[in-house]
């Protein structure tokens, strides 16, 4: 019984035998009920002749022989059906149990950390697959997602370790130099240490914010918002930084820009990130233009710069954590590397989309996101 309970093949095989057994029983009962009447109808004339001759015993013997022959035929049919069921059941069981066993073994390997495990598909065309083939395909997709997630987790650990190590090394080195008397105990030295500590604090805050937005443990206070006013406020607050670097900041807004449904604080965070990022990668004498346009039921906001640009192969990854198109650039000149990731999650939480475009290195880039337009309220 333990084998039957734990083996799918035995269950399928027994199901065939049960079907055959039920069929044979039903057929035997039907024959036993119908056989006397059928025999009487077909042998009515012979029964009359034998009755006149007084040979009822011969008629009974004939009926018993006829019934015995029918039951023998049933036994032979049941035996042939059982043999056929065993053969067919064995073949079909292999077709069903083998993929299930492969899925079971692959799932155990994945559970042990072998995320590159895949199940072989019976066919390449999804339309030609049965339910087991579709299950195997879904299993492979799940395994691919798990492998990608594990790779991102490992990369995140390495990136965070690197990001934390850089300011900590600078702080430790400066303190050791102070202790040894190599660096003078002057305000400039302590200012450098303070800047590294402040940079470390910003990184920790960004990581905390990233974990919150990726987990979705934040609330949006969605309200009808005049986007033009918010864009003007952001550009005004960044004008000084742009002037200090020698980069022009322009704003291009239509007079009748529609309201959007957004959280003003979170949207400001996205805009400060994009406009500040454009300043970071635009050299002196360059231009950054902030524009907005109505597109159907959405408003598109774009931040276009004339900076260093992005190569085509890097565009799909600019919103990944810590991703940098130019790995040689120092973190001091490029921020924490997770601001765009936070911006993407915040825009998507608003029901919008965000993407990056660039003609190529040295030709500038454009970051665009969309927001849903506020629907006018209906009055009775």
The domain that holds 359 is classified in CATH as: 3.30.565.10
Q: Is residue 72 part of a domain?
A: yes
Q: Are 282 and 227 in contact (CB under 8 A)?
A: no
- In percent, how much of the chain has pLDDT > 70? 75
Indicate the pLDDT class of residue 368, thresholds 50, 70 and 90.
very high
pTM: 0.57
Q: Is residue 377 part of a domain?
A: no
Burial per residue of 148-167, b for 16 or more beta-carbon CB atoms within 10 angstroms, e otherwise: eeeeeeeebeebbeebeebb
Query: Residue 303 belongs to what domain range?
Result: 223-372
Containing 368, the helix (H) or strand (E) segment is strand 365-372
Residue 6 has pLDDT above 50, yes or no: yes
Mean of pLDDT over the chain:
78
Closest to 276 in 3D by CA, of 343, 207, 361, 370: 343
Q: Is residue 309 part of a domain?
A: yes
Predicted local distance difference test score (pLDDT) of residue 63:
64
Domain end position, chosen among 167, 183, 215 = 215
Predicted local distance difference test score (pLDDT) of residue 140:
86
Are 108 and 72 found together in one domain? yes
Residues 6+ apart with CB under 8 A from 270: 343, 346, 347, 369
How far apart CA 175 and CA 159 sit, in angstroms, is 25
How far apart CA 67 and CA 60 sit, in angstroms, is 11
Residue 228 has pLDDT above 80, yes or no: yes
Q: Is residue 132 part of a domain?
A: no
The domain that holds 210 is classified in CATH as: 1.10.287.130
Are 239 and 333 found together in one domain? yes
Predicted local distance difference test score (pLDDT) of residue 332:
42
Domain end position, chosen among 61, 92, 114 = 114
Are 163 and 285 found together in one domain? no
Are 156 and 264 found together in one domain? no
How far apart CA 319 and CA 360 sit, in angstroms, is 17
Residue 132 has pLDDT above 90, yes or no: no
Are 53 and 175 found together in one domain? no
Indicate the pLDDT class of residue 251, thresholds 50, 70 and 90.
very high
Predicted local distance difference test score (pLDDT) of residue 331:
44
Are 72 and 184 found together in one domain? no
Q: Are 358 and 315 in contact (CB under 8 A)?
A: yes
Are 337 and 228 found together in one domain? yes
3-state secondary structure of 311: coil
Are 230 and 210 found together in one domain? no
- In percent, how much of the chain has pLDDT > 90? 18
Give mean pLDDT, residues 340-365. 90
Q: Is residue 134 part of a domain?
A: no
Domain end position, chosen among 169, 194, 215 = 215
Structure tokens at 155: 């990369």
Highest mean pLDDT of the ranges 5-19, 70-84, 208-222, 320-334: 208-222
Residue 304's alpha-carbon distances to 96, 231, 244, 314, 343, in angstroms, are 57, 14, 19, 17, 16
Indicate the pLDDT class of residue 249, thresholds 50, 70 and 90.
very high
Are 257 and 188 found together in one domain? no
272 vs 54, which has greater pLDDT? 272
Q: Are 234 and 272 in contact (CB under 8 A)?
A: yes
Predicted local distance difference test score (pLDDT) of residue 5:
56
Q: Is residue 126 part of a domain?
A: no
Q: Which residues are 262's β-sheet partners?
A: 223
Are 110 and 10 found together in one domain? yes
Are 346 and 230 found together in one domain? yes
DSSP string, 249-305: EEEE--TTPPPEEE-HHHHHHHHHHHHHHHHHTS-TT-EEEEEEEEETTEEEEEEEE
Tokens 């989309």 locate to 353
Number of domains observed in the structure of the chain: 3
Predicted local distance difference test score (pLDDT) of residue 161:
79
Q: What are phi and psi of 247, to 5 degrees?
A: -110, 130
Indicate the pLDDT class of residue 137, thresholds 50, 70 and 90.
confident
Q: Is residue 131 part of a domain?
A: no
Structure tokens at 124: 């390449």
Predicted local distance difference test score (pLDDT) of residue 52:
46
Give mean pLDDT, residues 173-198. 84
Residue 8 has pLDDT above 90, yes or no: no
For 147-157, the pLDDT digits (tens) are 877 887 787 77
Q: Which range (13-17, 57-61, 236-240, 270-274) has the least confidence?
A: 57-61
Are 246 and 354 found together in one domain? yes
Burial grade of 138 (CB within 10 A; 0-12, 13-18, 19 or more): exposed
Give mean pLDDT, residues 37-47. 59
Indicate the pLDDT class of residue 324, thresholds 50, 70 and 90.
low
Q: Is residue 339 part of a domain?
A: yes
Predicted local distance difference test score (pLDDT) of residue 282:
92
Indicate the pLDDT class of residue 315, thresholds 50, 70 and 90.
confident
Return the axis-axis angle of helices 264-280 and 339-349, rounded to nearest 10°. Answer: 150
């Amino acid at each position: 019984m333990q084998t039957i309970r734990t083996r799918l093949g035995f269950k399928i095989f027994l199901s065939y035998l049960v079907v055959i057994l039920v069929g044979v029983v039903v057929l035997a009962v039907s024959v036993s009920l119908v056989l006397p009447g059928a025999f009487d109808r077909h042998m009515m004339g012979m029964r009359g002749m034998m009755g006149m001759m007084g040979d009822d015993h011969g008629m009974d013997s004939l009926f018993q022989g006829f019934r015995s022959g029918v039951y023998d035929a049933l036994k032979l049919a049941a035996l042939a059906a059982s043999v056929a069921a065993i053969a067919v059941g064995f073949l079909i069981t292999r077709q069903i149990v083998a993929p299930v066993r492969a899925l079971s073994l692959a799932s155990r390997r994945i559970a042990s950390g072998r995320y590159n495990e895949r199940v072989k598909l019976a066919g390449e065309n999804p339309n030609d697959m049965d339910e087991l083939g579709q299950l195997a395909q879904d299993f492979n997709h799940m395994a691919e997602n798990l492998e990608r997630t594990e790779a991102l987790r490992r990369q995140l650990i390495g990136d965070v370790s690197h990001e934390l190590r850089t300011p900590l090394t600078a702080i430790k080195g400066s303190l050791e130099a102070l202790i040894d008397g190599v660096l003078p105990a002057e305000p400039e030295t302590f200012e450098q240490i303070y800047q590294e500590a402040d940079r470390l604090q910003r990184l920790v805050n960004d990581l905390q914010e990233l974990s919150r937005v990726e987990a979705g443990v934040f609330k949006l206070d969605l309200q009808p918002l005049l986007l033009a006013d918010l864009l003007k406020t952001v550009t005004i607050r960044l004008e000084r930084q742009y002037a200090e670097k020698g980069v022009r900041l322009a704003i291009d807004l239509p007079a009748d820009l529609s309201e959007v449904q957004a959280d003003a604080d979170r949207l400001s965070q996205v805009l400060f990130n994009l406009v500040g990022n454009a300043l970071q990668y635009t050299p002196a004498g360059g231009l950054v233009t902030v524009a907005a346009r109505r597109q159907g039921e959405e408003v598109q906001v774009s931040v276009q710069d004339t900076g260093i640009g992005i190569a085509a192969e890097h565009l799909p990854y600019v919103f990944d954590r810590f991703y940098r198109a130019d790995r040689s650039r120092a973190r001091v000149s490029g921020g924490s590397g997770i601001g765009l990731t936070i911006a993407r999650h915040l825009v998507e939480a608003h029901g919008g989309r965000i993407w990056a475009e660039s003609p190529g290195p040295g030709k500038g880039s454009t970051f665009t996101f969309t927001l849903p337009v506020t629907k006018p309220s209906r009055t009775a």
